[in-house]
Structures are given as structure tokens and as C-alpha cells.
Structure 1
């Protein structure tokens, strides 16, 4: 019951220590413990049971109105947040945690796919550097691009899908609301309940990332006495294995980090960070096709860069793409901002 005790300590921190407050705190704890035990007996998870207990006895204003101070005047609760912002309710917090858990794999697969997407292009281009092979380098690069583009599109689609699932929770993700103590304690409970699985996933991911360089290094050592065209084929295999190991690490860790992310969002510090980082808030003003384009812009630029470099063997000149892409992105962003922000202003949003 440490979570409920921590919540009650936070809840009563602004009250003077009197027999009246001690008695009220003890009674509240007993009632919350009964609800918690009843929820556990009914088959709910520890997380759900804590949420139910906090939801039924989590209103500080009501407690303040009942207790008051020894003179009978209401006790002023310390201002821990901006009262001009709507409070995040316990129901919203629970729903946000549930949707974050359900969509955790969308983020993991999207990032893993972005890492794996260039693997066929890079590996085939390296492996077919020998002009005596029946498959030309140009054909191999074309095959790699044909594989890469759909993978990038799938990754972007997964990110857009996840953002749409989380869009109803802009109050939380964009820092538009304030966090009450009971919601913050609930977020900490979610983090604690899933901390072991996150730690295990992080350990495995770190091991994979550390070992990811071994295949490529081993192939380099193994082929150092081979002719370069023959060695390139082994190096291509090593490169592919390295990228796969990195992708697996990301696929394991990112989904397991969902509870920690939820806890950060359901805290006043997380709200303050979200308000400072207004990029997601601003993107919410754009239609879906614009957000999809913005999400896929840089993966597309990477595709163009690799295609140009491998097929045209233009490593010495293809770097010029990056400053051009940067200027173009800035110009496109400015135009979209002007168009859609002006529309919002005219509509009074």
C-alpha cells in the first residue's frame, strides 16, 4: 500500500498536523485500502485497483472543504499548478495509460522499420560491387529501393496511426492541462508496476546495441586478405546483421518504455516540458496529410541520398542534398505554418 500512503502524504502536506487531520488521514486510508482490496479480489490488476481507489477519494478540494482548520476556516491548498488550465481527471489518465499501452508496438515497429529499411539497399549494393556477378550493381540498388520505399511508407503510416490514437489526449500530451496529486501518484503507480519489464528490456537492448558492431568488425577481419569484390559480399552480410540487431534492440525497448513515458506525462514536470516543446501542439493544427508528409520528409531524403550515392556512385557530390533538403524543409514549414495558422486565427481557434 505504499502508493496510497505516498498519495495521502502528498494530499495532506498542506494541512497542519492536528488530531483532526491525523484522524481524517487514517480514515481515508482505511476506506481506500478497502476499495483497493475489493478491486484486487474482483480480478483487477494492481494498477487498476490503485486507480479506482484514488478516483473515489482523490478530490483535495472536497477534503479541504470538510476539514478546514481548527478555527473553522477552510484551509488554503498550496498552488501546485496553474488553476487556469483544466485538470486532468483520473478517468482521462487511466484512458491515456490504456491507449499508450495498446499503441506501444506501433512506435517500436515504426522505428525498427526505419532502421531496417535501408539494409537491403546498402547490403545489395555492397555485395554486387563485383562486375563479374550476374546481378549488376544498378539492378541490385533498384531492388533495394523497391524494398526501401514501401518500408518507409509503412513506418510513417504506423506513426501517423499512433498519433491519431493519442490525439484525444492533447490535454496531456501537449501540456494544456494541469496534474492533480492523485493523477501524479497514479502515473507513478503505472511506472512502478511495469518497471521490471522495462529494466529487462533495456538490459537486453543495450547488450544487443553493444554487440551490434561485432558482425561487421568480424567480417572486416575475416576478409582482410580477400580480394575486395569478394570481401564486399561478406561485409554486406555483416552490415545487414548489424542493422537487424540494432532494430531488434529498439523493438524491445521502445514498447517497454510506455509506462515510464506515461508517468512522465502525468506529472507537473512532464506538463511543463510539454508546454515548452510546442512542436506537437502546433502540428495538431495541420491536416493528416500534412503531418504524414512532415513525418516522412527526412526518411524520403535519406532514400534519395542513398539511391543517388549507390546507383550513381556519387558519394563525393551527393552530400549537397542535405543543405538543399534543409532549406526546402524550412520553406515548406513556413508556408504551411502561415496557411494553417492563419486559418486557425480567422476561425477563432
Structure 2
């Protein structure tokens, strides 16, 4: 082992004396020792074991490439993430993705509640309640659900904002062990992510089947078909948000596809993206309600054009208001 340690010291003799290089050196020593002991247990002589270890770990350029280290950049001064920070970030990302998914689902289900109450009224299940009162109850349910959803967006957005530095380049670095651990967890999550992606998209595409089925059985039950459609869409979107967010958390830690953005731009994109999701969801809800309940198909498509204008107006206004921050 002394030969291996001396060889490792010579390998790093010309390298910068930084925390990053020391961490890399320590990680390599651990792996070289493990490999050496494994070879010795397999019956190799000491010289044979040393030769194999040096042959496997002795190319400095390959090691630097494998660890993603570029000595010409400023990353040597980046701080290392602690294991506790990584676990906390993954835990918070997973937890917030659940609540954000529920929030988006509530925006859609709020419309489902409105349509459901209207369906009960139209089919004579709420004859003791005046039509106007039933409509007011439906609107109240819609507003309450959307208000709860907005609260969830704000609260969880503030919780994840603590980790803005993880979403930008050149803010941190990981040890070899940490990278391997995160990569392993990412690969283990990949099948669930792909399955959720397929199921979520399939549910959204197939959701109109419920509506068409109720139309075929009895047109009076159209309202309940719309309710089923909206619930299925809500479930599909929740699956997409939850599993995609968890996958993005692993990618952010591994710096896969992380753009070189300032924290200000990250925050802006997150806020404008959330507003766009809410506006498009509400536009879809209004489109379905006005079409199936009030038969306004000839004109209700304008809601999407109006939604696009509102999103553009908000993005422009937000950019102007935060320009000098």
C-alpha cells in the first residue's frame, strides 16, 4: 500500500493545492485501497495487485475528465455540498412537488366541483335548492379551491427558494462518492419517472373517453362526464409534476442541463412559469364549462387567445417591475 500512496502523492504533486483536489485525492485513495484489498483476496500477489490498481487509476487526465474537473475554470474555489444539504434538498423538493401537484390539481378540481353541483341541479337532485343558490355554491367552491392552490404555490415556492444556488452553475461541487450516490438514485428513479410520464400523458389524452361514454349513455349525464374528465386530467398532471420534479432535483445536483442563470432569472422564470400554468389551467376550465354547459363552442375558443395576452402582459409587467432589482 505504501507504493500506491507514494504513486498517488506523485500524481497530485503538480496539481493545485485546493480543497477540490484534496477531496479527489482522498476519494481515489479509498477506491485504490478497496481495489487493492479485493485483488489480494482474489489471490493476486502484492506486485500484481499494485500493478492492476495503478493501471486502473493511474491516468490523471482520464480521472479529471471522469470527475468533471477543469483546472482552467474557477470551480476549484466552489464549496462542497454537505451530505445533509443534499438530503434536505431532495426531501424538500419531493415534499414541495407533492403540494404543488395538489395545488394544480385543486385548480382543475375546483371547476369539477362547479360542474358537479350544476349537474346535480340540472338532474333534479337538488330541487330543494334554488338554481341561483346552487350556482353561487359552485362558484364559492371554485374560488376557495383556487385560493387554497395559490396559497400552496406561494408557501412551497418560498420553501424551495432556499435552494436557488443548486439551480445555477458554479455554485457548488460534489465529491466522487456523492456523485455516485446521486447518480445511482437517479437511475433507480428513472423507471418510475418513465412510467409516470407515460401514465400521466395517457390519462390526459384518454380523459375525453369518460365524457364521450356519458354522452353515449345519456346526454343528461354530460355534466358528470366533464367532472370525470377533469378529475382524470388532475391525476395525470399530478403524476407528471411529482415524478418530473424529483427527477429534476437529481439533475440539478448533478448539474445536468443546468443553464448559467442568475438567481434573479431563476426566480423570474419560476414565477412566470407558475402564473402561466394557472392561467392556462383556468382557461381550459372556462373553455370546457362554457362549451358543455352553455354550448358556446362557436366563440369560447377566444379564451385561449385572451389567456395568451394575459400571460404576455404579466411577463412584460413583471420584467419591468424587477428590472432594477
TM-score tier by shorter-chain length is 0.5 to 0.7
| 1:119-165 deviation digits (Å, cap 9, x = unpaired) | 12234446655799846665544332211111112122212222111
Q: Is the 8 A contact 1:112 1:248 kept in 2?
A: yes
Q: Is 1:220 the equivalent of 2:202?
A: no
Look up the SS of the partner of 1:266 in the other structure: helix
- Measure how far apart 1:268 and its partner are: 3.2
Q: Is 1:185 the equivalent of 2:180?
A: yes
The 3 A distance-change label for structure 1 pair 282 and 239 is closer
Q: Is 1:145 the equivalent of 2:131?
A: no
What count of residue pairs does the alignment treat as equivalent?
Answer: 270
User: Residue 99 of structure 1: which of 65, 76, 92 is its match?
Assistant: 92
The 3 A distance-change label for structure 1 pair 170 and 255 is same
Unaligned runs of 5+ in 1: 1-11, 16-22, 34-66, 70-76, 224-230, 345-349
Look up the SS of the partner of 1:79 in the other structure: coil
For 2:28 and 2:75, locate their aligned partners in 1 and report how far apart those are by CA, in whole Å.
32
Question: Hey, what does 1:115 align to over in structure 2?
Answer: 108
Q: Is the 8 A contact 2:115 2:224 kept in 1?
A: no
The 3 A distance-change label for structure 1 pair 252 and 32 is farther
Q: Is the 8 A contact 2:203 2:233 kept in 1?
A: yes
For 2:308 and 2:27, locate their aligned partners in 1 and report how far apart those are by CA, in whole Å.
58
- Measure how far apart 1:176 and its partner are: 6.0
Give the TM-score normalised by structure 2.
0.61
Mapping of 1:76-95 within 5 angstroms? Answer: 78-79=69-70, 83=74, 87=78, 89-91=80-82, 92-95=85-88
The 3 A distance-change label for structure 1 pair 80 and 204 is farther
Give the TM-score normalised by structure 1.
0.58
For 2:86 and 2:308, locate their aligned partners in 1 and report how far apart those are by CA, in whole Å.
38
Question: Hey, what does 2:313 align to over in structure 1?
Answer: 331
User: Residue 161 of structure 1: which of 148, 155, 159 is its match?
Assistant: 155
User: Residue 264 of structure 1: which of 228, 231, 251 is its match?
Assistant: 251
Look up the SS of the partner of 2:322 in the other structure: helix
- Measure how far apart 1:309 and its partner are: 7.1
Q: Is the 8 A contact 1:215 1:242 kept in 2?
A: yes
- Measure how far apart 1:181 and its partner are: 6.4
Mapping of 1:1-349 within 5 angstroms? Answer: 27-29=29-31, 78-79=69-70, 83=74, 87=78, 89-91=80-82, 92-125=85-118, 134=127, 139-175=133-169, 177=171, 179-180=173-174, 182=176, 184-195=179-190, 197-198=192-193, 201=196, 205=200, 208-209=203-204, 212-223=207-218, 231-232=219-220, 234-272=221-259, 275=261, 280-282=266-268, 296-297=278-279, 316-342=298-324, 344=325
Segment drifting more, 142-151 vs 296-305: 296-305
Unaligned runs of 5+ in 2: 1-11, 16-24, 36-57, 61-67
For 1:132 and 1:259, locate their aligned partners in 2 and report how far apart those are by CA, in whole Å.
43
Q: For the aligned residues, what is the CA RMSD?
A: 4.7
Look up the SS of the partner of 2:230 in the other structure: helix
The 3 A distance-change label for structure 1 pair 323 and 138 is farther
| 1:224-266 deviation digits (Å, cap 9, x = unpaired) | xxxxxxx22x222222123223323443453344432212212
Look up the SS of the partner of 1:341 in the other structure: coil
For 2:195 and 2:302, locate their aligned partners in 1 and report how far apart those are by CA, in whole Å.
42
Q: Is the 8 A contact 1:100 1:258 kept in 2?
A: yes
Q: Is the 8 A contact 2:92 2:160 kept in 1?
A: yes
Question: Hey, what does 1:72 align to over in structure 2?
Answer: none
